[in-house]
């Protein structure tokens, strides 16, 4: 056999998987490309498809074609048909979600679908499936399906009637076999090399054991890209599987939660959870811009006591929420989901509990980060065990939460209440966190204060400070609603935030970096204060005096539930005085471990030592 014949034979064998399954390869490749380009955001000129789309899709389909070629033809037909059903159904659903919600398939959508009954599903379909959908990119995808079906029917008919193909088609098939044989090896090698990283990251993603670990992995810059609807479906199923495991443990912890007694030491306990704010942008903590004038005024009135040394356990909202809602603290045995959630104990004790959030409501467009933070809050059984009342919709600005409270939720209050406000606060994008008529700071205001910043960065800092200023007004309005009642109000953001601090070129947060002193002080340190109304101070002067006395103690917000139970007068086996900053048993030396890896106070000591050594 000559060398040319050997090469021809090899090329023929390499092209065989595609030629044997050419219809499958062609239509699946076409659908993958069409969906990817159809889901590009129309309002972003810089939007682009996944960089390795064309090659990785070739690689994936080639591997599938090899596997199909190894299966007997009769079984292969059924298997291919099943794959068609899954691929087309998933792609249509994915593209439909994009057209209607500007989001592809994600874990939240699957969770919502699983909780939807027949009536709700019928109403949803009748509301959303209309001519507008059919004339969108979904219609194009349906047209591809129809063409594929017609082609398949014609092929079956041709074979049964023994209709021969025209000679030119036979010649074309022979030529294409040679062409496919020539390019397939080259594309296979190139696509395998270029796809290796993403495949390795996918394996890493699917080896993780908790939904929190999945979320944290997604914050890394080189995380897996689930670039096709089928991949997104598999990932969403996996994420829901991980979440359900923690839900089961939370339900078990709920069933074992117990309250030994309650003295109802406060009529109203109000917890305000902010978003993405560190003390370095708070006027109250020494920032050069007047970003928190209302909080400063409350402090000057003597009713608001700011704490000076408070950190969050994580710099990611969902992780923080799990830590501050669970009675578990960092360093305790087990995980957060093995312990009761503090609102459950308040309800068991007899408090009326309200949760008013501008982030964690079930919605189709919810990102994995919000899903990870909100899945336990939105689980029907757990939500009913924690909350008597909740708001039902999200708002562009946090003032919408005030309207929710005033118009409906306030009337639901009882004699003793725990009211939790969860703000969107200063979350990126900053320019969307305050109304246009509330703009106060301008880029020019920072020309002398931050001369090292470019004009674009000064605009960004101005937007952020405007968001902080608007947040200050919302917090003030919440306090005013309880100023004439017997109430204690606690304010804390979930974590800090960076907006070109010092010489750092960082905005938002750096989740994947090793924690050093600068990252810790900007992203983990948080403002924290307690406001006591005049009526509360009159009834509990000793508690108010104690709050003033402990304002400089070290504290980490994972221990917040123990402080809340103390203020509520709730006795429970899951309460521990060593974690309660108001308790005489409080252990101020408890290590404040950030992200389960780094001791914050060790960083502070090392920084002070380093600073002292400088000439």
Which spans in 102-228 are helix H? 107-114, 118-128, 131-134, 137-160, 167-206, 211-218
Residue 226 inside a domain? The answer is no
Three-state secondary structure along 12-48? HHHHHHHHHCHHHHHHHHHHHHHHHHHCCCCCCCCCC
Spatial CB neighbours of 273, under 8 Å, sequence gap ≥ 6? 324, 420, 421, 422, 423, 492, 493, 494
Q: How confident is the model at residue 208 (pLDDT cuts 50, 70, 90)?
A: very high
Confidence at residue 529, expressed as pLDDT on a 0 to 100 scale: 99
- Rounded mean pLDDT, 93-106: 87
Are 305 and 182 contained in the same domain?
no
- Rounded mean pLDDT, 354-369: 74
Q: How confident is the model at residue 154 (pLDDT cuts 50, 70, 90)?
A: confident
To the nearest whole number, what is the mean pLDDT of the chain?
91
For residue 555, the cross-strand partners are 310
Residue 121 inside a domain? The answer is yes
pLDDT digits (tens, 9 = 90+) for 319-356: 899 999 999 999 999 999 999 999 999 999 999 999 99
Minimum mean pLDDT among 51-55, 181-185, 191-195, 439-443: which range?
181-185
Confidence at residue 165, expressed as pLDDT on a 0 to 100 scale: 66
Nearest-angstrom CA–CA distance, 485 and 534: 8
Minimum mean pLDDT among 25-29, 154-158, 571-575: which range?
154-158
Confidence at residue 46, expressed as pLDDT on a 0 to 100 scale: 79
Spatial CB neighbours of 301, under 8 Å, sequence gap ≥ 6? none
Nearest-angstrom CA–CA distance, 49 and 213: 26
For residue 328, whether the previous peptide bond is cis, meaning omega lies within 30 degrees of 0, is no
- Asked if the model's pLDDT at residue 161 lies above 80, the reply is no
Q: What one-character DSSP code corresponds to residue 326? A: B
CB atoms near residue 535 (< 10 Å): 16
Q: What one-character DSSP code corresponds to residue 552? A: T
Are 411 and 533 contained in the same domain?
yes
Structure tokens of 390? 């909740």
Q: How confident is the model at residue 243 (pLDDT cuts 50, 70, 90)?
A: confident
**Percentage of residues in the chain having pLDDT higher than 70:** 92
- Asked if the model's pLDDT at residue 488 lies above 80, the reply is yes
Q: What one-character DSSP code corresponds to residue 135? A: T
Nearest-angstrom CA–CA distance, 475 and 54: 50
Structure tokens of 14? 């390499």
Residue 246 inside a domain? The answer is no
Residue 31 inside a domain? The answer is yes
Nearest-angstrom CA–CA distance, 341 and 135: 48
197, 217, 243: which is the final residue of a domain? 197
**Total structural domains in the chain?**
2
Residue 239 inside a domain? The answer is no
- Rounded mean pLDDT, 227-242: 94
Structure tokens of 300? 């000057």
Confidence at residue 374, expressed as pLDDT on a 0 to 100 scale: 76
Spatial CB neighbours of 439, under 8 Å, sequence gap ≥ 6? 466
Are 278 and 193 contained in the same domain?
no
157, 174, 197: which is the final residue of a domain? 197
Confidence at residue 155, expressed as pLDDT on a 0 to 100 scale: 82
Are 169 and 309 contained in the same domain?
no
Confidence at residue 14, expressed as pLDDT on a 0 to 100 scale: 79
Confidence at residue 174, expressed as pLDDT on a 0 to 100 scale: 64
Are 356 and 487 contained in the same domain?
yes
Confidence at residue 124, expressed as pLDDT on a 0 to 100 scale: 60
Greatest alpha-carbon pair distance for the chain in Å reads: 103
**Interstrand relation of 352-357 and 417-422 (parallel, antiparallel or unpaired):** parallel
Are 90 and 22 contained in the same domain?
yes
The domain spanning residue 392 has which CATH number?
3.40.720.10
Residue 206 inside a domain? The answer is no
Confidence at residue 298, expressed as pLDDT on a 0 to 100 scale: 99
Minimum mean pLDDT among 19-33, 372-386, 559-573: which range?
372-386
Q: Are 214 and 239 in contact (CB under 8 A)?
A: yes
Structure tokens of 399? 């003032």
178, 197, 216: which is the final residue of a domain? 197
Residue 222 inside a domain? The answer is no
Range of the domain at 284: 257-613
- Asked if the model's pLDDT at residue 7 lies above 60, the reply is yes
Nearest-angstrom CA–CA distance, 261 and 69: 69
Are 556 and 484 contained in the same domain?
yes
CA 351, distance to chain mean position in Å, is 30
Nearest-angstrom CA–CA distance, 477 and 30: 55
Residue 204 inside a domain? The answer is no
Minimum mean pLDDT among 203-217, 284-298, 367-381: which range?
367-381
DSSP codes of every residue in 241-258: HHHHHHHHHHHHHHHH--
Q: How confident is the model at residue 210 (pLDDT cuts 50, 70, 90)?
A: confident
Residues 452-456: contacts with CB under 8 Å, at least 24 apart: 452/503, 453/500
- Asked if the model's pLDDT at residue 156 lies above 90, the reply is no
- Scored b (16 or more CB within 10 A) or e, 400-419 reads bbbebbeeebeeebeebbbb
- Rounded mean pLDDT, 439-458: 95
- Asked if the model's pLDDT at residue 133 lies above 80, the reply is no
Are 274 and 389 contained in the same domain?
yes
233-to-92, 120, 226, 246 alpha-carbon distances in Å? 12, 22, 9, 20
pLDDT digits (tens, 9 = 90+) for 592-604: 999 999 999 999 9
Q: Are 471 and 426 in contact (CB under 8 A)?
A: yes
């Amino acid at each position: 056999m000559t060398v040319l014949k050997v090469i021809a034979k090899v090329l023929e064998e390499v092209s065989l998987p595609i030629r044997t399954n050419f219809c499958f390869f062609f239509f699946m490749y076409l659908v993958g490309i069409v969906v990817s380009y159809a889901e590009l955001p129309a309002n972003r000129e810089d939007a682009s498809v996944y960089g390795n789309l064309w090659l990785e899709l070739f690689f994936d389909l080639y591997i599938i074609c090899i596997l199909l070629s190894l299966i007997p033809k009769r079984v292969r037909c059924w298997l291919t048909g099943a794959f068609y059903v899954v691929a087309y159904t998933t792609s249509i659903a994915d593209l439909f979600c994009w057209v209607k919600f500007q989001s592809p398939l994600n874990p939240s959508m699957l969770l919502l679908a699983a909780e939807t009954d027949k009536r709700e599903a019928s109403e949803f379909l009748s509301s959303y499936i209309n001519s507008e959908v059919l004339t969108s990119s979904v219609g194009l995808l349906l047209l591809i399906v129809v063409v594929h079906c017609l082609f398949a029917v014609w092929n079956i008919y041709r074979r049964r009637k023994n209709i021969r193909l025209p000679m030119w088609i036979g010649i074309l098939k022979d030529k294409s076999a040679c062409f496919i044989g020539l390019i397939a090896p080259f594309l296979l090698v190139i696509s395998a090399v270029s796809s290796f990283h993403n495949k390795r990251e996918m394996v890493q993603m699917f080896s993780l054991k908790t939904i929190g670990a999945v979320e944290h992995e997604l914050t890394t810059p080189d995380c897996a890209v689930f670039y096709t609807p089928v991949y997104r479906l598999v990932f969403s199923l996996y994420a829901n599987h991980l979440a359900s495991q923690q839900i089961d443990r939370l339900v078990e912890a709920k069933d074992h939660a117990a309250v030994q007694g309650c003295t109802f030491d406060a009529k109203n306990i109000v917890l305000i959870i902010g978003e993405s704010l560190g003390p370095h942008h708070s006027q109250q903590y020494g920032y050069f811009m007047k970003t928190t004038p209302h909080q400063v005024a409350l402090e000057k009135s003597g009713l608001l006591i700011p704490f000076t040394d408070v950190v969050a356990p994580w710099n990611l909202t969902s992780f923080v929420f799990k830590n501050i809602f669970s009675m578990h603290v960092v360093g305790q045995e087990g995980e957060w989901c093995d312990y009761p959630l503090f609102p459950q104990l308040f309800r068991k004790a007899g408090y009326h509990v309200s949760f008013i959030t501008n982030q964690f409501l079930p919605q189709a467009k919810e990102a994995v980060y919000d899903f990870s933070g909100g899945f336990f809050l939105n689980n029907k059984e757990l939500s009913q065990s924690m909350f008597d009342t909740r708001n039902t919709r999200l708002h562009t600005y946090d003032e919408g939460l005030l309207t929710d409270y005033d118009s409906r939720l306030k009337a639901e209050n009882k004699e003793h209440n725990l009211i939790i406000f969860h703000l969107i606060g200063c979350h990126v994008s900053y320019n969307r966190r305050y109304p246009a008529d509330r703009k106060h700071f301008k880029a020019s205001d920072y020309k002398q204060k931050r001369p090292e910043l470019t004009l674009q960065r000064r605009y960004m800092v101005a937007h952020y400070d405007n968001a902080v200023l608007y947040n200050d007004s919302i917090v003030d309005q919440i306090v005013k609603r309880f100023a004439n009642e017997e109430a204690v109000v606690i304010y804390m953001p979930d974590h800090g935030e960076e907006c070109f601090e010092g010489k750092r070129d960082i905005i938002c947060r750096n989740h994947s970096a090793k924690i050093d002193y600068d990252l810790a002080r900007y992203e983990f340190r948080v403002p924290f204060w307690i406001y006591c109304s005049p009526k509360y101070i009159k009834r509990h002067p000793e508690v108010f005096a104690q709050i003033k006395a402990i304002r400089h103690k070290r504290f980490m917000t994972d221990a917040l539930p123990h402080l809340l139970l103390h203020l509520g007068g709730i006795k429970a086996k899951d309460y521990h005085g060593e974690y309660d900053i108001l308790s005489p048993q409080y252990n101020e030396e408890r290590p404040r471990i950030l992200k389960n890896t780094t001791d914050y106070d060790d960083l502070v000591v090392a920084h002070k030592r380093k600073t002292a050594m400088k000439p």
